[in-house]
């Protein structure tokens, strides 16, 4: 193959601090795509969110979204592969959370569409999230009578939004209760004061597992894969035989595992690296 398979995280890696591609990034990504350089995304964002942030840029290769839960072609969220949460423990989990006054946000594939379901905000952090994301087309608000998700749909993730002092102990309790069933990721939110998120998925929903499958689908060997990342959910990709490239702003654990460290994400370092290494354009 003339070029390796390049796979990049989005936030903190490919995108600038405002969560967007720079004009240089838009132009460069379009040029790489036009030249047939194999490039795709592995992100914690949903399929629709990835499509939205890329704007008019169209990738030829499938996307890895929802932190590795979903592999789908760029033109359709219909899964090429999906690590969906099992129905019975999911139903129990959603009921348990409802009893505790929480309004989980469900990322769902219903056989036709990928969208997010919510009962509406029940605390200030949920309200902030709804207000900041509510204009995006992939959100669907449903009433109590429509809840929860139908059993014939597939749920990609459950997200809880609340204060850290509530979600941290809840994470510990749920991990013990559902040990081996789900994967739990906790993060402090930057856009709202005293806000945190708990993200729950199928135990195998991981970027590295999805990328292994995608590389096999596309016929790439481990030595022909280059990955870019910055945060802990990228760390699994950095523990494989792939060439792992960390951006300067990456967390120390990612840098320690990296094959090399390049410039800051706000300097378009990932795209500059790819342009130079493929000979499409030499960038200083």
Tokens representing 147 are 């809840």
Q: What percent of the chain has pLDDT over 70?
A: 92
Least confident of 103-117, 172-186, 224-238: 103-117
E-state strands within 119-234 = 139-141, 154-162, 182-188, 196-202, 225-229
pLDDT score for 33: 93
pLDDT tier for residue 114 given thresholds of 50, 70 and 90? confident
Give 247-282 pLDDT, tens digit per residue: 999 999 999 999 999 999 999 999 999 999 998 875
pLDDT score for 146: 52
Give 1-55 pLDDT, tens digit per residue: 589 999 999 999 999 998 899 999 999 999 999 999 999 999 998 888 898 899 8
Domain 5-82+206-278: CATH superfamily, name plus number: HAD superfamily/HAD-like (3.40.50.1000)
Q: What DSSP state is assigned to residue 122?
A: -
Mean pLDDT over the full length of the chain: 88
pLDDT tier for residue 157 given thresholds of 50, 70 and 90? very high
145 or 122: which leads in pLDDT: 122
Nearest CA to 8 out of 32, 18, 27 is that of 32
Give 61-100 pLDDT, tens digit per residue: 999 999 999 999 988 878 999 999 998 899 899 889 888 8
Residue 185 pLDDT exceeds 80 = yes
- R_g of the chain computed on alpha carbons: 19
pLDDT score for 187: 86
Nearest CA to 193 out of 128, 102, 103 is that of 128
Q: Phi-psi category of 254—alpha, beta or left, where left has phi over 0 and alpha has psi -120 to 50?
A: alpha
Give 197-235 pLDDT, tens digit per residue: 999 999 999 999 999 999 999 999 999 999 999 999 999
Task: Calculate the CA 20 to chain-centre distance.
Answer: 15
Rounded distance between C-alpha atoms, residue 72 and residue 104, angstroms: 24
Q: Per-residue pLDDT averaged across 97-117, rounded?
A: 82
CATH number, span 87-202:
3.30.1240.10
Instruction: Tell me the sheet residues that pair with 140.
Output: 117
Residue 145 pLDDT exceeds 50 = no
Rounded distance between C-alpha atoms, residue 244 and residue 224, angstroms: 11
18 or 130: which leads in pLDDT: 18
Q: Please, are residues 130 and 106 in contact by the beta-carbon 8 Å criterion?
A: no
Backbone φ, ψ for residue 153 (5° rounding): -90, 165
Q: Please, are residues 61 and 39 in contact by the beta-carbon 8 Å criterion?
A: yes
Would you call 249 helix, strand, or coil by DSSP? coil
Domain boundaries, the chain: 5-82+206-278, 87-202
């Amino acid at each position: 193959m003339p070029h390796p398979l390049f796979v990049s995280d989005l936030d903190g890696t490919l995108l600038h601090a405002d969560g967007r591609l720079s004009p240089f990034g838009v132009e460069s990504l379009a040029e790489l795509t036009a030249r047939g350089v194999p490039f795709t995304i592995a992100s914690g964002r949903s399929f629709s969110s990835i499509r939205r942030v890329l704007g008019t840029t169209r990738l030829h290769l499938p996307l890895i979204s929802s932190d590795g839960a979903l592999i789908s072609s760029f033109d359709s969220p219909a899964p090429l592969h999906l690590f969906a949460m099992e129905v019975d423990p999911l139903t129990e989990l959603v009921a348990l959370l409802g009893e505790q006054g929480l309004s989980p946000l469900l990322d769902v594939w219903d056989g036709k569409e990928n969208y997010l379901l919510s009962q509406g905000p029940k605390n200030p952090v949920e309200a902030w999230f709804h207000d900041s994301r509510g204009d995006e087309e992939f959100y669907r608000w449903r009433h109590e009578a429509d809840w929860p998700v139908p059993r014939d749909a597939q749920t990609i993730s459950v997200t809880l939004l609340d204060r850290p002092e509530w979600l941290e102990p809840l994470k510990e309790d749920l991990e013990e209760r559902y040990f081996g069933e789900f994967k739990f990721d906790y993060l402090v939110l930057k856009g709202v004061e005293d806000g945190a998120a708990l993200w729950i998925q199928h135990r195998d929903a991981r970027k590295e597992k999805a990328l292994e499958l995608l590389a096999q689908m596309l016929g790439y060997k481990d030595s022909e894969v280059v990955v870019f990342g910055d945060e802990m959910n990228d760390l699994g990709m950095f523990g494989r035989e792939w060439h792992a490239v960390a951006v300067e702003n990456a967390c120390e654990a990612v840098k320690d595992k990296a094959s090399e460290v390049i410039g800051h994400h706000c300097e378009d370092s990932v795209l500059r690296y790819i342009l130079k290494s493929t000979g499409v354009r030499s960038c200083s």
